[in-house]
Structure 1
Amino acid sequence: MAQKEAGSSLDTLILRFNAKITELQDLVVARNMYPASSVTDLSAVDTALKAMELQVHAIKGRLREETDAIPKAKKLIDASLRQQKKLQGMSAYVPVYLPERPTMSNLECERGASRETSDQPTSYRSVIVEEEPAALPREKKGRGSPPLWYITSEELDSLSSYMRGRLTLDKINAAVNDIAAYAEANVQLLAAPKKKISENLWEKALELRDIAMTDAAKGKHFFLETDVKGPNLKLDNSGKAILTILRHLGRITETRIGHHRVIILLKKP
């Protein structure tokens, strides 16, 4: 009985020993398949994976921020579109170009007067000074700049085809610049001192001041029909049609004072 138990224990020990040998053999095979140098590569792969995980996390955060910003961007786009419509509406009231107003400065008047005087002999200069006309009546100051009241595309479209003809919005508004320039030149001449007005403008200055003292033109900006000399407005068929349109739309009014046809600029109410 004791011999049987001893044999059984020996068999068990042999089996365990064989199992241990098999396990060691598997470990040897695994060691040969995955040498120690592969541990470094596996560490590098692990580091790269961790870096990629951090990048993915950052990308997710950025996407979350962009998603939250989409409603704000939509509001900004809507506001920009509304502003664009406002600017387009404003541009309809402004002509393509605004030419500079030709004005007669006091310096030019003074130069003209000195040039006229210097051409005369010295013996006659004293006579000219003594025979100068009496001082012109001073007109009240405060006219300011002439009104620039442009027409709109809606007003142009409201006109009948025979009145509008081939005239464009830019051409009519360019003529508005011209009539304002004529009125500005007359204001400069009215305000110029007597000694600074050249001889060739003296008669016109007297006529303008007589017109400015009338009830129809007092305190208003005006020009004469004879002032119409371009560059955009001329006394041709197109120019007369433009004046008719401006009178019809309430930009100007006309009256006759003496032998002059006077065009008065109206202000926007």
Structure 2
Amino acid sequence: MMKDMASSRLEDLCLHINMKISNVKKCLLLRDLGEDDSRKPVLRKIQKEVILVHDLLNEMESEVKQQEKLKDSLKEMQKAAERDQREAQHLLEHIPRYLPKPSQSCNTVPAVKHKEETKAVELKNEKKPAKEKKAIKEAALITTEEFESVPAYLKGRITYDQINTVVQEINKAVVGKYKILYQPLKSMSAPVRNLYHRFIEQETADTKGAFFIVEDDIKAFTQLKLDKRFHSILSILRHCQRVREIRSSGLIRYVIC
């Protein structure tokens, strides 16, 4: 067995030496080919091709590096997109119950026509002009950013939803009041006419052009309890510039900002 192993190693060594001798012979042959004038054009052509291949390999290497940079950039973009998707999913699953209105919303009701208004002569087929409408100003809902900015001594245990519930009820009272004010007197029932006259009596020079309500309007048009929490929320709404107060003749008027 030892003899077989020694024989095998000797054969491998002989094979290795023969390969080296063969490589040396090839190198000598190639060196001699360079001196052969008939083969020089072919060698020059091969040299040019080798240079072209070398340049091509350099371009390929540059392109590979650029692709690697692009791959890294795409990975970063993928991570950012996945992060944005998680944040969007979180926002979708935690949409606030109340969202701020994109713009000052207004309810509109037809304006009352005065009896003294003169009638213009119209052609038979002419369309009647659209009735003029008056807007009713409403308070915008509180945003989450505004809620976070409210001082702790004002908020206490009052929640974001509770504040916006009061805002909605205040708007309901404002709309209810001014719809009556914009109605023709002749179309009013006796109780509504009494409300109309009360509204007119509560107006002052300071409230001209403003939309306001009083506590009686809140009682008449909403189910809100005018308790301590309600007045605390009013303080928050004043802080957030949703309402302001005008006090005169022992009456508090809550003006929509």
Give TM-score, length-normalised by structure 2: 0.49
Greater relative contact order: 1 or 2 (C-alpha under 8 angstroms, separation 6 or more)?
Answer: 1
Larger Rg: 1
Give TM-score, length-normalised by structure 1: 0.47
